[in-house]
A and B are shown apart, each in its own frame.
Chain A
Amino acid sequence: MDERNFTYMFYGFGVTWAIIAIYVMILAGREKGIQKQLESLRRILEDKK
């Protein structure tokens, strides 16, 4: 492979994969938070009943 500008190509690829990875982490974190809220609300409702 022609190695001219390889570093910048690497930055471009890195940014792409990093944005995808960060978004996966955001989704996973949100999923965890939502499940936690759901569980705690269900528990509160059970207690109140």
Chain B
Amino acid sequence: MREKIMYALGAVGSALLIYNLYVILLQLPDEANQGAIYRIMFYHIPAFFTAGFCYITALVGSSMYLIKKDLYWDALAVSATEVGLAFAAINLITGSIWGRIIWGIWWAWDPRMTWALICWLVYFGYMMLRRAIDDPTERAKIASVLSIFAMVSVSITWKAIEWWRTQHPGPVLSFRTGGQKRVDSPIEHMIYQNWWALLMIAAVFLMIRMRQEQTQREIDSLRRQAHAL
């Protein structure tokens, strides 16, 4: 059943991504000032939301591990963090490419961008920390605490465009502007639609990664058995 859901999500997500690419390139209107480069936003913003969703999933997994002490939840946390890092990398790099054209520079130490980078580094540190601890329960406990603290950096990154009005554009989507329209409806709609596509792909990655974590635990247990014999 789980396999079927995974294949279905993968197929629908991939088809939607391809359909969205067609609409983004050939059907949506141009932006008056930016030229073609504004179309990067259809990946930059959804990738940010997808990474955020993964980090929240990691927070849930980590909290549940500390409550239940079940390694299933730790597997969820590490899988979500790894997938989140991939999407956060898309967000950072596409943002940098957009900045090169619009601002004339690849990177500005603006609060939003700096916090997005800090956030990525914190979660990358989480992955590195896990490699340094051999005992699975000790690793899960320490990593869970770090993951919960890391959520602070996600929250600051989310609010940075409201708290500090500097170089990075402010909120444009209507759910963050209190219903005010700052972009045309078809553009906003496509940002959400591409987010759904990326979310489905991320869910498939998450399921595959979790299955691998579970198989890895099985391998560790078999290895212990082999040593004992």
Contact = CB atoms under 8 A, between A and B. Distances in A.
A23 B97 CA distance: 21
B215 A34 contact: yes
Given A27-B205, A34-B212, A5 B222 contact: no
A9 B201 contact: no
Interface string B64-108: 000000000000000000010010011001100110110000000
A21 B25 CA distance: 20
Contacts, number: 95
Interface in A1-49: 1-6, 8-9, 11-13, 15-16, 19-20, 23, 27, 30-31, 34-35, 37-38, 41-42, 44-45, 48-49
A1 B26 CA distance: 7
Contact of B209 (A1, A13, A27, A37): A27
Given A1-B36, A13-B40, A41-B223, A8 B26 contact: no
Interface string B32-47: 0011110110011001
Given A27-B205, A44-B226, 15 more contacts: A1-B36, A2-B30, A4-B37, A12-B39, A12-B40, A12-B93, A12-B98, A13-B43, A16-B43, A23-B205, A27-B209, A34-B212, A35-B215, A38-B219, A41-B223
Interface of A: 1-6, 8-9, 11-13, 15-16, 19-20, 23, 27, 30-31, 34-35, 37-38, 41-42, 44-45, 48-49
